[in-house]
Amino acid sequence: MAVLSDSIEQFLISLLSDEDSPVVLVQRNELANYFRCAPSQINYVLATRFTVERGYTVESRRGGGGYIRIVKINLDRNSYLKDLIENSIGTEMSQDAANTILLRLFETKCISQDEYRFSQSLLSDKAIGVPSPIKERVRANLIRQMAINWLQSKSMPQT
């Protein structure tokens, strides 16, 4: 099932990157027929892979002329980092939640591929190596501090 979900996701992302605008309109049933799957599989991919946290909004209109509208959100890097620091990082964070944030930062070019990979390894359960819920608190503090550092370092002029 993961392979099918990955294929659907990649197909939709390719549609978004091929277009001049960051908006794609598709019909759920046509997409399901194309991938030879149930429409609920399309719903699953949209609900889990095209979230606001990943930089998308999804609108759906049901019925005979229904459609799905996927919009890629254009972010201001500094605003996104500030919002992340102030609102998105709580007192605890799972490894999956941290990886989702890091992926979004990488996809929006807020961090480099090296920063992405290094941060993933630093925030892993194995690297933190303390029992839960302490591990989740440490991870939240680490990612918050990294975001503060990225905000400060990338908003200063390079010399």
Q: pLDDT tens, 66-115?
A: 789 998 876 677 777 888 788 888 899 999 999 988 988 888 788 899 99
CATH of 2-72 among 2.30.30.100, 3.30.56.130, 3.20.20.80, 3.40.50.10540: 3.30.56.130
Q: Give the whole-angstrom CA distance, residue 26 versus residue 81.
A: 31
Alpha-carbon torsion angle 126, 127, 130, 132, nearest 10: -60
pLDDT for res 159:
39
CATH of 77-155 among 3.50.50.60, 1.10.1200.150, 1.10.150.120, 1.10.1740.10: 1.10.1200.150
pLDDT for res 36:
94
pLDDT for res 120:
96
Give the ranges where 36-133 is alpha helix by DSSP (H). Answer: 39-49, 77-83, 95-107, 113-122, 125-128
Instruction: Work out the average pLDDT over 5-10.
Output: 93
- Banded model confidence at residue 118, pLDDT cuts 50, 70, 90: very high
Its pTM stands at 0.59
- Banded model confidence at residue 19, pLDDT cuts 50, 70, 90: low
